[in-house]
Structure 1
Amino acid sequence: MKKVVAALLVAVACTAPAAEVFPARPVRIVVAASPGGLVDISTRLVAQKMAEKLGQPVIVENRAGADTLLGIRYVKGAPADGYTVLATSNSIASQPAVKLDPGYDLAKDFLGIGLVVRSPWVMVVGPSQLDRSVADFIARANAKPAEMSFASGGVGTTPYMAAAMFLQRAGVKLLHVPYKGNGAAIPDVISGRVTMIFEGLGSGAGKIRGGQLRALGVSSLQRLPAFPEIPTIAEQGLPNFSSYVDIGLLVPSGTPKDAVDKLSAALQAAITSKEVRERFEGAGAEMVPIKPQEYTEALKRETVQMGKLAAELGLQKQ
């Protein structure tokens, strides 16, 4: 009898399914912004290369809305298995500063995978606008503020925070027009229905070169080699003004370390590939290789910094 039981146990052990090796099926990246903006464009670019490294398709899905919170909350509630990844800007660190209940705790609910790209903002207007410089814009805003407005991907998003900081330092107040991501706002800026927006240079470069948008200034402290003709905002009367957008990938807390490490390796392979590097650098953006733990800690620090900025700007939590 003992021999029979032993034989049965061996048979069961031999037929038991092997533990799943990540990734065994497609990976989905949820973009917390509308199509056409920097988060969307940069994520789709690296997703193609990540798929090659992972050996599985990487599907990109947009879930825009609620000032990026729709996508963020969706991924927070997804299984922590590595198959659902969040792509977002550093808006994920600024939302807690302006929302009474953002619906997540960045330090507890997410783990960082790494940075996709970092880009300065470019302050742009449509071609029909009269402004040719930051000084022109400020002078017109002081003279006729009721006729001007600015767009963003929503209150608390990084383009909103950058624009709000600019307007505060310039001493002007303009109507804010929120959209479900910068990509959704750009057509209205081009047409002149909205006056100005702070757009990621990585996504706005083509429209600037094509004449659909006019660049008034970049938010980096130095002029960019890719766009030496665009002056910095700092050199146009706002000394030391600087602001950047960081696009990164995150997963829900509890995701296995093996999955985190493989996603990180795939991201690093993507951003260091010749094709991706040249695309980003040609748009004035930069790649910053960073380990998951380093990125997680950087986001925690930025949450504190964004809280201080919101206090300086006098933003009330809603």
Structure 2
Amino acid sequence: MPAIAQAQEIWPSRPIRLLVGFPPGAAADLTARLAAPLISDRLGQTIIVENRPGAGSSLAAEVVARAAPDGYTLFLASAANVTGQLMQPSPGVDLRRDFAAIATLTELPNILVVHPSLGVHSVAELIAYAKARSDQVFYGSTGIGTVPHLSGQLFAQLAGANLVHVPYPGSAQAMTDLVSGRVQMMFAPASTARPQMEAGKVVALATSGAHRTELAPGLPTVAESGLGGFDTSIWFGLVAPVRTPSSFIDRLAAATAAATDSAGLRARCQDQGMDVLSSDPVQFAALIQREFEKWAEVVRTIGSGTR
């Protein structure tokens, strides 16, 4: 016991690994690399970002879940871990059971964009358009089970419309087909949507988050536009293996809170189309639970045959 107590007093005494389940350049990777130096400064130890892409970031999650709960291995969790877990019949790890929430870092809002040929300029007009053309409105996504895919499912469910899902390998490919008119709408990451919005090649109707994005403050949310409760931003946050000492979690949370309060981080995130999202461990754990409850219902509609 004295040795354990001494180890906790001097933590962290060596570099900390932060595993990211997506490749370099992805929004998750950018979040980790922008925030890590600021958190490191407040802990007095380097945080090394390590990319372990694959299986929607579940491979990296499994590595961290099995790591020693000593505060030296962290994972950048995201909404993708919730939807990915729900889409798998036997997931290898459980985000709620196998991890301790630390704090959120950023969120990447999706922008609901449509092809100009639809002639719609609001969510209400899009709903009316889709209801009048059942199974004739195609929406693109970044793949089956991804947040953009399930965002379309949730939109259809709340709007009472039938939409046809068209999955793509990534947002760039989906946006290419939206611009060409092969699909009519999509929930696109803000960083992907912005250039096409500015060029007038797509029409932006709303942002998918619970609040307006700093990237386009004049754009209403989908919830404000009539579909109450709609919130499908892609969030990113730090978690540690379950049973990590609470004193470590508290220090990490405090350091993360100081980082997200930095004006410099907010400005750099906004340049990348992301908003800073701050929370403490309790609030982050509650967010994860709400996300499971929300997406579980959407996944059930897919299982019952709803498109």
1:218 counterpart residue number: 207
Deviation at 1:248, TM superposition (A): 1.1
Among 228, 244, 250, which residue is 1:240 paired with?
228
Task: Label 1:120 to 1:206 Cα distance change in 2 as closer, same or farther (>3 A).
Answer: closer
Distance 1:138 1:45 in 2: 42
Distance 1:41 1:212 in 2: 27
Distance 1:19 1:300 in 2: 32
- One-letter identity of the residue aligned with 2:241: P
1:54-69 alignment runs, 5 A limit: 54-69=43-58
1:187 counterpart residue number: 172
- One-letter identity of the residue aligned with 1:188: Q
Distance 2:80 2:218 in 1: 29
1:252 counterpart residue number: 241
Task: Label 1:54 to 1:142 Cα distance change in 2 as closer, same or farther (>3 A).
Answer: farther
Distance 1:79 1:104 in 2: 15
Q: Tell whether 2:148 aligns with 1:163.
A: no
1:298-317 alignment runs, 5 A limit: 298-311=287-300, 313-315=301-303
State the SS of the aligned residue for 2:111. strand
1:111 counterpart residue number: 100
Among 34, 41, 46, which residue is 1:45 paired with?
34
RMSD (Å), alpha carbons: 3.6
Deviation at 1:77, TM superposition (A): 2.0
Query: What is the count of residue pairs matched by the alignment?
Result: 288
Task: Give CA deviations for 1:223-263 in whole Å, capped at 9, x if unaligned.
Answer: 55652443443566x53262133221111112223332222
Task: Give CA deviations for 1:52-102 in whole Å, capped at 9, x if unaligned.
Answer: 222222222333332332222222122322222111213333344322111
Does the CA contact (< 8 Å) of 1:87 and 1:250 recur in 2?
Answer: yes
Task: Label 1:189 to 1:306 Cα distance change in 2 as closer, same or farther (>3 A).
Answer: closer
1:175 counterpart residue number: 165
State the SS of the aligned residue for 1:106. coil
1:32 counterpart residue number: 21
Task: Give CA deviations for 1:152-188 in whole Å, capped at 9, x if unaligned.
Answer: 2541x43332222123336233233254xxxxx1321
State the SS of the aligned residue for 1:244. coil
Deviation at 1:119, TM superposition (A): 4.8
2:80 counterpart residue number: 91
Question: TM-score under structure 2 normalisation?
Answer: 0.76
Does the CA contact (< 8 Å) of 2:80 and 2:147 recur in 1?
Answer: yes
Does the CA contact (< 8 Å) of 1:118 and 1:247 recur in 2?
Answer: yes
Distance 2:90 2:219 in 1: 39
Question: TM-score under structure 1 normalisation?
Answer: 0.73
Deviation at 1:112, TM superposition (A): 0.5
Task: Label 1:316 to 1:153 Cα distance change in 2 as closer, same or farther (>3 A).
Answer: same
Among 265, 271, 291, which residue is 2:260 paired with?
271
Distance 1:213 1:68 in 2: 32
Q: Tell whether 2:65 aligns with 1:76.
A: yes
Does the CA contact (< 8 Å) of 1:96 and 1:102 recur in 2?
Answer: yes
Among 178, 183, 187, which residue is 1:198 paired with?
187
Deviation at 1:222, TM superposition (A): 6.1
Distance 2:297 2:138 in 1: 28
Distance 1:79 1:221 in 2: 36
- One-letter identity of the residue aligned with 1:277: R
Distance 1:280 1:40 in 2: 12
Deviation at 1:149, TM superposition (A): 4.3
2:3 counterpart residue number: none
Distance 1:213 1:73 in 2: 41
Distance 2:211 2:101 in 1: 29
Does the CA contact (< 8 Å) of 2:17 and 2:47 recur in 1?
Answer: yes
Does the CA contact (< 8 Å) of 1:138 and 1:172 recur in 2?
Answer: no
State the SS of the aligned residue for 1:258. helix
Does the CA contact (< 8 Å) of 2:130 and 2:161 recur in 1?
Answer: no
State the SS of the aligned residue for 2:140. strand
> Which stretch shifts more, 219-228 or 161-170?
219-228
Does the CA contact (< 8 Å) of 2:18 and 2:47 recur in 1?
Answer: yes
Task: Label 1:101 to 1:120 Cα distance change in 2 as closer, same or farther (>3 A).
Answer: same
Does the CA contact (< 8 Å) of 1:142 and 1:172 recur in 2?
Answer: no
